[in-house]
Amino acid sequence: MNSQESYLKANRKASREIEIEIFGSPQPRHKVHRSKKTYNRKNLKKAGRNDLLLLFTSLRIKEKTYLFCFLH
């Protein structure tokens, strides 16, 4: 192994150790970034399900019970 290869290897190792110190685990180097603008059915379904959340609560005033429904 020549000096340039050993320099690169040592530099990568030091960089990785610093990364683990800062973030607590190694960070992915080749992870694909997905654009928010592209069609993604999973995220659309997830967003639609959260929009239809109904909250029910009851309120009792003078022996009468009132039921309220809130759309979230």
Q: pLDDT of the chain along its 72 residues, tens only?
A: 789 999 999 999 999 999 999 989 888 888 888 887 888 888 777 766 654 445 556 666 666 777 666 554
The model's pTM is 0.41
The alpha carbons of the chain give a radius of gyration, in whole angstroms, of 27
Cα 26 from Cα 20, distance rounded (Å) = 5
Cα 9 from Cα 5, distance rounded (Å) = 6
Cα 23 from Cα 19, distance rounded (Å) = 6
DSSP 29: S
